[in-house]
Every structure is written in C-alpha cells, then in structure tokens.
Amino acid sequence: MFADLIISFLILFGAAFVLLGSLGLAKLPSFFMRLHGPTKASTLGVGSILLASAIYFSTRGGLSVHEVLILVFLFLTAPISALLMARAGLHRQLGGDNPKLEDKRED
C-alpha cells in the first residue's frame, strides 16, 4: 500500500517534469535556452518514472536491475550529449540570448 503511493507520486512527478521539458523545448526562443528543457527537466522526469518502475517490479518479485541500469545510463549520457550540443552551437556561433554572441550565420 505504501509502495503504491510512492510509485504513484513518482509517476505523477515524472510526468509533470517531462511535460515541462517538452514545453520548454517547444516554446523557448533560442537554441541554448531550448537545450535546457530536454536535458534538465525531461531527464529528471524520465528518471523518476524509471525509479517508479524499478520500485514496482522490485516489490512484485525480486530485484529489478534493468530499470536501474537504464537510469544510470540516462544520467551519464544526458549531460554529455547536452555538452556536445552546446559546443556545436558555440562552434556554429548561434547567438540567441547571449548578447556577446551575435548570430553570425548567413542563411
């Protein structure tokens, strides 16, 4: 009973953060601002949902290692991919919200 409440809370918490991350990706004005939506909020949301799944399957029969391994992989790769995308944006000299970097691309 108590585990079901924790699982329900983690799923709702995760769904709210995934929604916020998706809205941030869709609505924020510049590349660097849009980068934070999926890398910060969505990572926390998906991690929360994976943690709820690990708790659910661990309480139903044995330790669930698959979800924990996916969670570790997610938390290791999300910051690295965000760093690489930010460096690519700097390399392409995308301005956006930083006044020091004006948009120097010629479209």
What are the tokens at 77?
């790769």
pLDDT at 73: 92
pTM of the entire predicted model: 0.77
Q: What's the average model confidence in pLDDT over 39-50?
A: 90
The count of C-alpha atoms lying within 13 angstroms of the C-alpha of 74, restricted to the half-sphere facing its C-beta, is: 20
Name the band, by pLDDT with cuts 50, 70 and 90, for residue 20.
Answer: very high
pLDDT digits (tens, 9 = 90+) for 57-103: 888 887 778 888 998 998 899 889 889 988 988 888 776 655 555 55
Distances (CA, A) of 51 to 30, 60, 77: 32, 14, 17
